[in-house]
Structure 1
């Protein structure tokens, strides 16, 4: 993987895009004491959860369903509002797929309709949000300087994918916090020797950019866990009688991963995430979870598993990590 989509680390650029180096230097405006990555969240994006909530932005209407996961998101929203108070939400999602390198959405005000291609009868969502362009460009510059092939997306015609929209809505349905969204390089799905190493580099770039720009950031890894799913749904999509794990093997592996998360620290997850991917076709193969934990420096604390549930058979968990390991709410 590294030899396909990484380039030699270049010297600092003169002119053009700004370089944020890591050497100490005087600053006219010191970074606030509490700036940095204040939390990271595993925030799965199944469209069913938004469908079940009936927000005004989503056209289809439902009778509810998947309450355990939706209640977990309600608790998470309260923590974000009352505890973390971020300046920005940074999301990495597996369905903004880029075949070459990593892209950062730097469009100031993305607007449009996002449609889930497999479940258009559940998810037709009108979005309108603000991008933290300065931070997005800083992440792209840091990633380039660390040797990743990176591009800044400035095309206002961009259509934002449903995984990005889903995670952002479920964490902040008011849409009043600026956003930076990152693409998922699809190389792992085509090269058997690929690893998650590159996502750790992207995480380091994200951390550097957040700290240099003085933001308070919450990171969102928009991944499900086990990802085998049913190919037919019931006549009523929210019929909870039909909802259960795809099979016991998938469920037990999800529990193995979540028990390790609950125990902490996160460093052993480096290997366990890879094992889980091989055992369950996990959506973490897109790298979002690895990116987030790497950006946080692989926290020495347990994750708070706020809820777990299945959606069309796939495993989904809402999990929060904080740098200090403190959880309130």
Structure 2
């Protein structure tokens, strides 16, 4: 069996507004559009994934929270309805996804071998979180590629930030080892918003884009600074500045998906491609790609 490889990694943020704006048949609420720059950015990401033809998509979501350990979806097929607890008016989604249980188990085993607490999720009635679903739908609305879903242990919140990031880096290393041993072609998805300051009142018409702009100028400036470093391939500098970014921009990357993905890709010096940037209720969202394989 040939060695598996990570083909690419994407920052793939999960505002449910993007699914709402597309009006897919799986989502009950109907919209009049909105957030087009971000949705067009995801169209570029979809084209990349179509070109790469991966065997599996791995997604780390901050909204599947497991305080004790890192958990992996471990049921071959999961279906049901996922409702966003903050925006149930926008996101009531009937999901149906196939899980690559073999690879999930391998990731779990490698994580345990590196000293992490890790566990498989075996509940056949598990309701998949909206972060996982939004990211997967926005990158592959056909839902025809098996997935590995990974929980947010939130160690960067409960430990010091340095300790939490180190744990996520080990999870990334475990993920890479499992993929290489599997012989599969994989794409990684870090389901993270960047700056996370947001408005607290929703417009009467949620998709009214005259009300959409950055909530925080400081957060916006940090996003631009970090995106430019990523576009220049300076990922080590991004990680050096990571604590300041998290602190000053209230960046959601603190939840761990970003350092997990960057570690799994072995801190690529490949310049990232920015597919697009936009705000959702004032938060900063970038769709970005690191292409590692032709």
TM-score range for the pair, normalised by the shorter chain length: over 0.9
Q: Residues of 1 paired with 2:187 and 2:26: CA distance?
A: 23
- TM-superposed deviation, 1:165: 0.3
SS of 1:79's equivalent in the other structure is helix
From 225, 238, 250, the counterpart of 2:207: 238
From 146, 150, 158, the counterpart of 2:118: 150
Q: Residues of 1 paired with 2:255 and 2:19: CA distance?
A: 22
The aligned residue for residue 173 of structure 1 is 141
SS of 2:31's equivalent in the other structure is coil
The aligned residue for residue 277 of structure 2 is 308
- TM-superposed deviation, 1:42: 0.1
- TM-superposed deviation, 1:190: 3.0
The reply to whether residue 95 of structure 1 matches residue 63 of structure 2 is: yes
Q: Residues of 2 paired with 1:113 and 1:106: CA distance?
A: 18
The aligned residue for residue 281 of structure 1 is 250
The aligned residue for residue 2 of structure 2 is 31
For residues 238-257 of structure 1, give each alpha carbon's deviation from its aligned partner in whole angstroms, at most 9, with x where no partner exists. Answer: 00000000121111011011
The aligned residue for residue 132 of structure 2 is 164
Q: Residues of 2 paired with 1:243 and 1:55: CA distance?
A: 22
From 201, 205, 208, the counterpart of 2:177: 208
- TM-superposed deviation, 1:189: 2.2
Does the CA-based 8 Å contact 2:219-2:250 persist in structure 1?
A: no
The aligned residue for residue 265 of structure 2 is 296
The reply to whether residue 105 of structure 1 matches residue 73 of structure 2 is: yes
SS of 1:290's equivalent in the other structure is helix
The aligned residue for residue 224 of structure 2 is 255
The aligned residue for residue 63 of structure 1 is 32
The aligned residue for residue 15 of structure 1 is none
Q: Residues of 1 paired with 2:130 and 2:268: CA distance?
A: 29
Give me the TM-score of the superposition, normalised by structure 2: 0.97
- Which segments of 5 or more consecutive residues in structure 1 lack a partner in the other structure? 1-29
- TM-superposed deviation, 1:322: 1.6
**Structure 1 vs Structure 2 CA RMSD:** 1.1
Q: Across the two proteins, how many residue pairs are aligned to each other?
A: 293
- TM-superposed deviation, 1:188: 2.4
Give me the TM-score of the superposition, normalised by structure 1: 0.87
For residues 103-150 of structure 1, give each alpha carbon's deviation from its aligned partner in whole angstroms, at most 9, with x where no partner exists. Answer: 011111011111000000000000011000100000000000010000
More helix by share: 2
- Which segments of 5 or more consecutive residues in structure 2 lack a partner in the other structure? none
The aligned residue for residue 7 of structure 1 is none
